[in-house]
């Protein structure tokens, strides 16, 4: 027996949910912040929950890494025989129907490297409480269905911590003693403990205001370290755009006197929606043209929108338990996706989101970590902040929108808020509101919440010239996933159109309908297989399937390359135009991978060259769309398309295609680069400029792959003269693996060595290095002064990028990449289990590897599993991978 077996953490099950034994009427918190030890005093006004099945249940308060000083019940000290304390809880026995409990504890934030609970970063205090961090602050009913009003008083040294922030509205402040001051905050809205926040430190503030549609003036404040104040203006504009959009599109108004954002560099996540006091990773606040790329600007805007939108979809209405996490996250991701689509390019945003879904979430669905949008169980809830919960969850919400239409969706959302404002609810409650508002039965649709895996939709078409009909036979299957060997049919909306020989849209009418119903139809696939017959089709059409990616499925249709080229040129649906190019490139790459495995000569199909040439020369097309057409699928995505992963063959095939396309379209790439290069202009964050930079830099990447002096000089000139980080980073990426790359990397580091976020880009570029010595480079970079293993951003930029995205580098034939990852996971697990567990997911594809690598990866996983002191976070990932 493995020594771990006898102490393996046990899963928490959705079916075991029981309402809390006690509820809270209010909580008063007092923090006495100190350099070595912080005292936390809580006053809990509580009463028994009449809905709990045990009328005399003990009060069990969650607590972890706390030093208990005192417990008072209704003002009197409690004798020690009335309560029990262990490593995870404080249990109070024999309470009556109501009580006032006062608990004082001490904690040591300066030693907290997990970045959960209260911790210090660069001399300042911060909190992160979602999902279960509040229990590291004080003993509490740390679960999302216990909601109450918080009053928070913070006491600290005025000279060291002049800024003291918490949730809600500031109601008082003053001098506590000779050196210390205090600030009192009251949050008028009930919230669970995971939304609590506290910040204290020396921070500068960018101030502005927003007037709501009802005329209320809201103070807007962004707090950062003093040297970063100039980088906050884009974030502030993003806040105002988000507030306006939520009023215009959802009718939702902000509800406090102030809205605050605080940026911190040591943070596990992207940001956190704590009520009124959002704490952000600096990555999603700080931006100026010289240091932030177009993608960074979009990321700042999107994440600020996401956290602001949580004020209603997550805060005012929260989740009953953590199994319902996608109730708030999937819904809010959909909202931020739609916001970004309205702020930038709807077509490009949709394609970007689908690329993320296919590369990351489809891979998760096909891995040992596959789980439903609403999981049935977990060992460590931190492991379920996944692309399935977020991105697939957003696709589920998008399908409500597709099935109901914009008006029906809005009716459902309005009813959801009317019914559940101030409550902790479930995914079923959301589905019920959507259905009741529209008279729509979502019973079958809810299988999207309970069944894991990516459905495969197969389409077979048949044209009948004599009867002028076009028939689509559509079937669905879903592969088995852990714990779910068989699946019932999903309710799948399939948006489609038909194009005639000239590329024009054909008006559509299904058999049995009285009239034409437009040129894009949404078919509802609810059975294992169904037949749809379109009438009045006079000539063979070309189908445009899954328009807008109307469902998170894999489409199986026998396209010819001529049909794909036709759709690339003519489809009115931008997603389907891109999808045609993506499908054509994917098919070619799969053939090249097979040839590389067989050591056959690789060749470039003429149909692909012709289709890509036409796209590149289409000056009427959106440059951003063309740039996406020329962005080759990631190696990790290609790994998910094959039955057995041979990393070297995948890399060989992808690199061959990149260089072959560059050779075949050399003059077109050169022409297009020159077309968008032009004179140096001031940077603008505008969709038209973003599109031009995107295509220009894609062309530069192809040209430098030819390793010709003239094109290398182009990249060097752009690198030296760029007035924005988008162009600078693109040029550096084009040079990094060439002999000239070493000088460019040194110049870049010398210029930006004092900017942590820019240095993270430097680490990431080198972690993706395709040369054979990439692992040695990564090891060497760990010794660089700009790298700190205690900072999650640094770990993600260097270690996670190498292990998760550098396919051939991580999956080295000698197994050294696996040994390296295991070594780093163990180091990180002692410091920050959340970050360690994310790195452990690098092994998720190991069962699909070719036999030699598969055996090496398994050995590394088994060595990890043999460690008896693994955190629950890492244990869950490793054990599921080995199951």
Q: Which residues are catalytic?
A: 307
How far does Cα 594 stand from its chain's mean position? 33
CA distances from 73 to 135, 540, 686 (A): 20, 80, 60
State both tokens at 781. 């970079």
Report d(CA 63, CA 85) in Å as an integer.
9
842 near 810, Cβ under 8 Å? yes
DSSP type of residue 317:
B
- Helices 666-677 and 606-616 sit at what angle, rounded to 10 degrees? 20
- Helices 666-677 and 647-664 sit at what angle, rounded to 10 degrees? 80
Burial of 179 (0-12, 13-18, 19+ CB in 10 A): exposed
Report d(CA 343, CA 237) in Å as an integer.
12
DSSP type of residue 799:
I
Strand order in the sheet with 271-272: 204-211, 217-224, 258-264, 277-281, 271-272
Report d(CA 877, CA 859) in Å as an integer.
15
Report d(CA 609, CA 695) in Å as an integer.
18
State both tokens at 185. 């905050």
Q: Is 314 left (phi over 0), alpha (psi -120 to 50) or beta?
A: left
State both tokens at 313. 């979809």
β-pairing verdict for 554-556 and 456-464: parallel
260 near 275, Cβ under 8 Å? no
Opening angle at CA 454, ends 452 and 456, nearest 5: 135
CA distances from 591 to 585, 650, 740 (A): 10, 10, 33
Residue partners of 534: CB distance under 8 A and separation at least 6? 469, 470, 471, 472, 498, 508, 509, 510, 511
Could you give phi then psi for residue 327, rounded to 5 degrees? Answer: -55, -40
State both tokens at 371. 């789980």
Question: SS3 string of 564-621?
Answer: HHHHHHHCCCHHHHHHHHHHHHHHHHHHHHHHHHCCCCCCCCHHHHHHHHHHHCCCCC
State both tokens at 194. 């995971």
Distance separating the N- and C-terminal Cα atoms of the chain:
15
Opening angle at CA 322, ends 285 and 843, nearest 5: 75
Q: Is 13 left (phi over 0), alpha (psi -120 to 50) or beta?
A: beta
Opening angle at CA 258, ends 256 and 264, nearest 5: 120
**Nearest one of 170, 196, 168 to 183, comparing CA atoms:** 170
Report d(CA 606, CA 323) in Å as an integer.
50
SS3 878: helix
739 near 709, Cβ under 8 Å? no
State the number of CA atoms in the 13 A half-sphere of 149 facing the CB: 9
DSSP type of residue 176:
-
Could you give phi then psi for residue 261, rounded to 5 degrees? Answer: -125, 135
SS3 706: coil
The helix (H) or strand (E) run that includes residue 207 is strand 204-211
């Amino acid at each position: 027996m493995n020594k771990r077996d006898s102490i393996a953490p046990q899963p928490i099950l959705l079916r075991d949910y029981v309402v809390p034994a006690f509820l809270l009427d209010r909580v008063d918190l007092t923090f006495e912040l100190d350099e070595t030890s912080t005292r936390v005093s809580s006053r809990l006004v509580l009463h028994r929950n009449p809905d709990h099945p045990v009328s005399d249940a003990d009060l069990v308060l969650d607590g972890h890494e706390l030093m208990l000083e005192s417990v008072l019940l209704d003002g009197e000290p409690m004798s020690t025989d009335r309560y029990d304390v262990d490593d995870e809880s404080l249990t109070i026995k024999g309470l009556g129907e109501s009580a006032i409990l006062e608990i004082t504890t001490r904690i040591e934030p300066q030693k907290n490297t997990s970045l959960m609970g209260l911790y210090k970063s660069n001399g300042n205090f911060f909190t992160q409480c979602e999902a279960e961090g509040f229990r590291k602050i004080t003993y509490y009913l740390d679960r999302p269905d216990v909601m109450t009003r918080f009053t928070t008083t913070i006491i600290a040294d005025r000279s060291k911590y002049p800024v003291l922030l918490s949730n809600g509205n500031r109601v008082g402040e003053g001098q506590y003693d000779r050196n210390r001051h205090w600030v009192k905050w009251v949050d008028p809205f009930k919230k669970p403990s995971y939304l609590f926040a506290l910040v204290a430190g020396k921070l500068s503030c960018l101030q502005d205001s927003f007037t709501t549609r009802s005329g209320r003036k809201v103070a807007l404040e962004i707090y950062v370290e003093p040297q970063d104040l100039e980088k906050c203006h884009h974030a502030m504009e993003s806040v105002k755009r988000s507030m306006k959009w939520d009023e215009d599109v959802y009718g939702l108004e902000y509800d406090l006197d102030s809205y605050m954002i605080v940026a911190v560099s040591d943070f596990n996540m992207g940001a956190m929606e704590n009520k009124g006091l959002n704490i952000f990773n600096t990555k999603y606040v700080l931006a100026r043209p010289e240091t932030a790329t177009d993608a960074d600007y979009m990321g700042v805007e999107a994440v600020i929108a996401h956290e602001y939108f949580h004020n209603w979809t997550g805060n005012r209405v929260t989740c009953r338990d953590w199994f319902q996490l996608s109730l708030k996250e999937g819904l809010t991701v959909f909202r931020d996706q739609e916001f970004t689509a309205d702020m930038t390019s709807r077509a490009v945003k949709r394609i970007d989101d689908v690329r993320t879904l296919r590369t990351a979430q489809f891979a998760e669905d096909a891995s040992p970590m596959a789980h439903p949008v609403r999981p049935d169980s977990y060992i460590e809830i931190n492991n379920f902040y996944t692309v399935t919960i977020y991105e697939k969850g957003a696709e589920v919400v998008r399908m409500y929108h597709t099935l109901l239409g914009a008006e029906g969706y809005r009716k459902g959302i309005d009813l959801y808020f009317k019914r559940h404002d101030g409550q902790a609810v479930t995914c079923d409650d959301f589905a019920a509101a959507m259905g009741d508002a529209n008279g729509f039965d979502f019973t079958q649709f809810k299988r999207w919440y309970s069944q894991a895996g990516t459905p495969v939709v197969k389409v077979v078409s048949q044209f009948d010239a004599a009867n002028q009909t076009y028939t689509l036979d559509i079937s669905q299957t879903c592969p088995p996933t852990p714990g779910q060997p068989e699946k019932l049919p999903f309710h799948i909306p399939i948006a489609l159109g038909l194009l005639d020989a000239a590329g024009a849209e054909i008006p559509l009418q299904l058999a049995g309908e009285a009239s034409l119903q437009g040129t894009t139809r949404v078919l509802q696939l609810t059975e294992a297989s169904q037949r749809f017959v379109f009438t009045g089709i006079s000539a063979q059409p070309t189908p445009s399937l899954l328009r807008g990616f109307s469902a998170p499925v894999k489409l199986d249709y026998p396209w010819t390359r001529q049909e794909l080229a036709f759709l690339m040129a003519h489809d009115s649906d931008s997603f389907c135009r891109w999808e045609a190019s993506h499908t054509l490139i994917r098919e070619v790459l799969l053939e090249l991978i097979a040839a590389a495995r067989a050591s056959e000569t690789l060749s470039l199909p003429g149909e692909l060259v012709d289709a890509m040439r036409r796209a590149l020369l289409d000056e009427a097309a959106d440059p951003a769309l063309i740039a996406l057409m020329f962005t080759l699928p990631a190696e990790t995505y290609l790994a998910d398309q094959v039955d057995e992963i041979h990393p070297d063959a995948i890399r060989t095939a992808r690199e061959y295609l990149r260089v072959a396309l560059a050779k075949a379209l050399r003059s077109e790439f050169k022409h297009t680069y020159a077309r968008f290069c032009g004179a140096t202009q001031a940077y603008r964050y505008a969709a038209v400029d973003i599109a031009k930079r995107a295509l220009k830099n894609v062309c530069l990447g192809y040209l430098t792959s030819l390793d010709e002096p003239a094109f290398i000089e182009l990249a060097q000139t752009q690198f030296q003269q760029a007035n924005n980080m988008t162009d600078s980073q693109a040029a550096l990426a084009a040079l990094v693996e060439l002999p000239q790359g070493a000088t460019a990397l040194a110049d870049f580091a010398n210029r930006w060595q004092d900017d942590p976020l820019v240095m993270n880009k430097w680490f990431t570029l080198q972690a993706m290095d395709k040369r054979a010595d990439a692992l040695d480079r990564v090891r060497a970079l760990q010794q660089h002064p700009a790298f700190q293993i205690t900072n999650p951003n640094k770990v993600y930029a260097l270690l996670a990028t190498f292990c998760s995205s550098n396919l051939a580098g991580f999956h080295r034939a000698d197994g050294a990449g696996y040994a390296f990852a295991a070594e780093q996971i163990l180091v990180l697990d002692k410091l920050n289990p959340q970050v360690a567990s994310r790195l452990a997911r690098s092994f998720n594809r190991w069962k699909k590897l070719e036999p030699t690598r598969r055996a090496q990866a398994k050995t590394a996983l088994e060595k990890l599993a043999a460690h008896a002191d693994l955190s629950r976070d890492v244990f869950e990932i490793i054990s599921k991978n080995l199951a």
